[in-house]
Every structure is written in C-alpha cells, then in structure tokens.
Amino acid sequence: MRISLVLASFASFAATLAAQQQYPEGADIPRSLTPAEAAWLANHPMVGLDAVTPPPTGPVDCPAEYEPVEGLCIAWEGTTTQLQVLQQIAVQVTTVGQANMFVYCDTAAEATSAVATLTTAGCNMARVQTFVAPTDTIWMRDYGPRYVFEGDCRAIVDHIYNRPRPNDDVMPQHFGAAKGHRLYGIPLVHGGGNFHLDALGAGEATLLIANENPTLTQAQIRQHWLAYQNLDVTLRSPLPSTVDSTQHIDMWMQIHGDRRAMISDWPNNPGSTQDVICDSTAAALQAAGWTITRVPARLVSGVHYTYTNVVLCNDLVLIPSYTNSTVSPSNAPALAAWQAAMPGKTVVAINCQGLVTSAGVMHCIVMHVPRPRGGAIPTAYLKSPTTATLQPGATATIEWLADDDVGVTGVDLWLSVNGGASFVYPIAQNVPHTGFFSWTVPNLYAPSAKIRVVARDAQGNTGSDDSDVPFAIAGTAFQAQALSYGAGKPGQAGVPTLTASAPVLGTAFPVAFANALPNAPSLLLLGDTPISVPFDGGTLLVAAFTAATIPTDAAGQFGFSIPLPDEPALRGFSFYMQAWVPNDPGAAGAGWAASAGLQLLLGH
C-alpha cells in the first residue's frame, strides 16, 4: 500500500510538472537539480517509472565507450547555444566518427526541424535517425540506455533516474522497444554520468550512489552492478558539491582504453579537496597498473570547467574548449594531452562555453550505443528453457534475445531430439521478435533435446543460438527401439543372433550378427511387414522386399551400420530383419539355421 501511494504521489507530481511547464522547450535546464526539484525531493522519496527486473542470466559483457560504437543517442533539447553543440557533435560523429545519431524529438514537427538543421550543418544524413517521443532535458548521459551484451545480443540495463523528470526516465524503455532490445531494470537510483568502465570488467563511480540509495550498503550497490553488468565497481569520493553540483565521476575522469584514464588536475587549487581526490585516485590507479594522463581543471565563478567530459566515438575524440578568458589558456594544453593519450585518433575541440555553465559538458548529453557484434548478420541468444526434464502437455516458456544492425523481422524456433546434431522439428515459424514464446511440450521420447532460435532480418540474413545444455522430454511417443520377436532355429553354434542399437533418426545405428558358421555367407532378409510362416523346421518372420548376403568372419560374426535420415515423417515407422544361415551342419532339415526376427522401430 505504501509503495502504491508513493507511486501515485510521484505520478501526481509528474503531472504537476507537466502542467506548470517546468521543462519548457528551449529552456536551460541544468544537469543538477532545479530548486523546484530539490524542494520536492526533500519530502518525497525518489521513485522512478521503471520496473525492476531480475538481472541477465546469460554471459554479460559491458562494452566500454572506446569500443566500437554504432551510434550516439541525443535529445533535441536545450538553448540555442546548446543545440549548436549538439549539431557540431552530430556533424563530427556522422562523418569522421562513422557512427549514427539517434535523435529524440518531442514532436514530429520538431523532428522535421531537427533534420533540416542537421542537414544544413553538414551531417551525413544517412546516419541520422529521429525518434518521436518526449524528453525533458538535454542530459542524455544521465537517463539514457546503458548497454550490455548478453551472449552476443545487445540489451539495456536501466536505472531509476536520480531526477524527477518522468519523460527522461522512460526514454530507455522507448529506445529498447524501437531497437528490439531486452531491457533489464536495475534497482538503483542513479545518474548515468556517475559511471565509467573499461573493457576488462572494471567500473568507477563516486559515493554519490550511496547517498542516492540510503537503504543499500555499498556492498549491495556494487553487487547490483556485478549482477546486472558484470562489473567490479570501485566507489570514489565525490568532489564537493560546491565544486561540482552533480558529483558525477565523468566531470573529472574519463576511461579511454584498457587500464587507461584521463583525470583532472587542479594546478590553481593545490591541496584543495578536489585536488586531493583527483591526485589520490590517479595514484591508486597507477599503483594498480593503469596509465594515467592529467589535464587541467578550473573552478571559476562557481563553474566547474573540465576537460575530461569528452565523447569517444570509434576513431574520433571530441573534447571541450572554452571562451572564458581565465580558462581558455588551458584549451591548448588539454588538446595536446588528449592527442598524446590517444595517438591515431582524430581529436576535435568543440566550444562548450554555453553548456558548461549548466553543470555538464559533451559526455553528459550523449549516450553510446555499441556496434552489433554480428554486423549485418543477426545474432541470437537462447535463455530458456533450462529445466532438466519437461513433462508432455506442460507449458514451457522459450525465451530469447535477438539483435541486428537494422532490426530483427522474425524468429523461428526448432526442436532437436538428438542433442543438437540436427534441428528438423519446427516449434514455431516466423513469430514476432517478442523474446518469449509459450510452448506446449509434445508427447515425445527425447532424452537429449535442444532448442534453436533463429533470428532473421529484412534482407534474409539469419543468426541462431542453441540450448547450452540438453534437456529431456519425458514422453513416450516415437521412442526408437530394437525389439526381438519370434524364435530362431539352432545350427552348429546354437541359435544365430541378430541384434541392433536403437534406430535413432539422424544417426547410423549398428547391427550385429553372431553364432553363425565361420567364414561363410548368410542371408539377411529385410521387409516392412512381420509374418509367421513355417520353413524348414523354423519360422520365416519377415515378408522381405529385399535380401542381402552377409559374409561372416572366422568367429562367425558380421557387423554393419545403417544410416538413417533425420526425417520426421519416418517417426514410428518399423522395418524388420531376419538372418538365415544355409548349409549349417548342425541345423535340422535342409540345413538352414535362422535368427529370431528383429523389429526396428524408428524414432528418437
């Protein structure tokens, strides 16, 4: 009941914000809390509009910003000067960076205007995609989609945004649905700018995260990041709020390679709290084997000027420059530091004077979308079922992820009953890529079954994934069996024997003949109908449609294998064998000895 009341209260507040136009178009909304938001939060707990979900169950990799990028998300919000920064980012990213821009616009009319502006600015418009869905602010880094790979498929880990900005908070849900990407809800109140990571599983954040989640211990916070993003996150002291009102780590650190980072230095504030925090973090990382480069930072008239809040995009590095006369002398040293730290990359400085006064710079207004691992070929990851044994008639949920550079248009589901050697039994064809399918388990005998999910795109490309571990279907239908029937007729070595392994479709099953005359030919009868006809004191047990001569060895034995096609139409079909040994001196009558009949029931 309390949670329901809080949610209702938050929904009411969201409606009030909208009615009062707290985020009017073109306004300079700071990255930090507005006075109205701070007043609200003083008496109301932060509750987002995100659903908390269990964490990913498959292998998880959290891509770093310096790894291959498909594109950047931005929100077409802010002042004219701030929109000009977005334009410059988009031009560089779509040309030099060879990446896409995913542009969120409040209305279709705004999307049309944004396209015209970006076209005029010189963007490669083939790399610009607009999405019509409302956002509140420009600060995409803090609320946008944080990506992981589960298997080889992209998925989103969505936190509860640490600002009461409802349209911003639900943006990842919209983007995930548009891209066909699974979304996981992590139970952390958070701002995405307070987060950095490398490609080796290390993450960095400030202890602001502990203040935002007072019911959780630091160990619990770090465990959530480990469970949802497979990251071992170190929590650092934040800069004082009088220096940086956001207290986000991206305002003084940028990880730009494996165990490589850029960290602010404060040459004009030696010994200050911010200087001590940055120096001690740099020293700790260097002691752990990191390569650290330092760039100057300034605090001028209450504004935190940073050169670590940058955008990495493939072979492009966008760094801020400033026109403030006190700070501008640091532009050139910062550019040189980044060029030295990232050889082979194109480093471009963009004037961010009109952005930094709102408590953020370029890293704060973009969110990275990693490049799909399959390129133009779809990828898939099968999550379930994982139950060891499924009962016939039960409903099992088949769950999967799928990914593509353009979009997955359909999914096929297949069943293997031979441990994944082949998949010839269709479960469902061309179903929508919802990620879930309710499957009524068939009555099959399948001790080693697997499922395959096949994702396809509009160009006909496909990618697939199979169950990692076989499971059993505890049914009875179509069990492959080799069954002896009738009686044989003894010869010199006793009654000849004809045995076989179960004739499983899609395999070559062995047949063994023994107790026959050594080094002599015998006759193998093969048919599809059993009979019982007396012959030479024995019983003819097969209405043969063919016969073959089989030569025995010195021990009176012969073995061979029969390959079977993996054809579902053959399930339940039986054929029959019997062997006859001529001229056996130990056999009565005309000297024929015979085996019993052998029924071969084809199946799984």
Give the predicted TM-score (pTM) of the model: 0.88
What pLDDT score was predicted for residue 46? 64
What pLDDT score was predicted for residue 364? 97
What pLDDT score was predicted for residue 11? 41
Tell me: pLDDT of 517 over 80: yes
Domain 481-601 has CATH 2.60.40: yes
Q: Mean pLDDT across the stretch 229-257?
A: 97
What pLDDT score was predicted for residue 161? 94
- Residue 581: CB atoms within 10 A of its CB come to 29
Least confident of 43-57, 122-136, 345-359, 393-407: 43-57
How confident is the model over 79-110, as pLDDT tens digits? 999 999 999 999 999 999 999 999 999 999 99
Q: Mean pLDDT across the stretch 378-383?
A: 98
Locate tokens 């498909």: which residue? 70
How confident is the model over 474-515, as pLDDT tens digits? 999 999 999 999 999 999 999 999 999 999 998 999 999 999
Least confident of 64-68, 150-154, 419-423, 433-437: 419-423
* Residue (of 541, 521, 538) closest to 529 by Cα position: 541
Selected from 3.40.50.880, 2.30.130.60, 3.75.10.10, 3.40.710.10, the CATH number assigned to the domain covering 27-35+48-370 reads: 3.75.10.10
> Which residues touch 292 (CB under 8 Å, ≥6 apart)?
260, 261, 262, 263, 282, 285, 286
Tell me: pLDDT of 21 over 60: no
Helix (H) or strand (E) holding 367: strand 367-370
- Residue 87: phi and psi, rounded to 5, are -60, -45
- Residue 167: CB atoms within 10 A of its CB come to 22
Spans of all domains in the chain: 27-35+48-370, 379-474, 481-601
What pLDDT score was predicted for residue 28? 82
Decide: 307 and 248 in contact? Cβ < 8 Å. Answer: no
Domains 379-474 and 481-601 share a fold: yes
Q: Residue 72 — very low, low, confident or very high, per pLDDT cuts 50/70/90?
A: very high
* Residue (of 206, 191, 173) closest to 30 by Cα position: 191
- Residue 248: phi and psi, rounded to 5, are -90, 145
Percent of the chain with pLDDT over 90: 91
What pLDDT score was predicted for residue 47? 62
The CATH code that applies to domain 379-474 is 2.60.40.10
Locate tokens 């016939």: which residue? 392
Give the chain's mean pLDDT: 94
Cα angle 129, 150, 52 (rounded to 5 degrees) comes to: 85
Q: Mean pLDDT across the stretch 219-236?
A: 98
Helix (H) or strand (E) holding 285: helix 273-287
Tell me: pLDDT of 16 over 50: no
Tell me: pLDDT of 204 over 80: yes
What pLDDT score was predicted for residue 2? 37
What pLDDT score was predicted for residue 45? 67
Tell me: pLDDT of 4 over 70: no
Q: Residue 17 — very low, low, confident or very high, per pLDDT cuts 50/70/90?
A: very low
**3-state DSSP percent of the chain in helix, strand and coil, to 5:** 25, 40, 40
Q: Mean pLDDT across the stretch 287-302?
A: 98
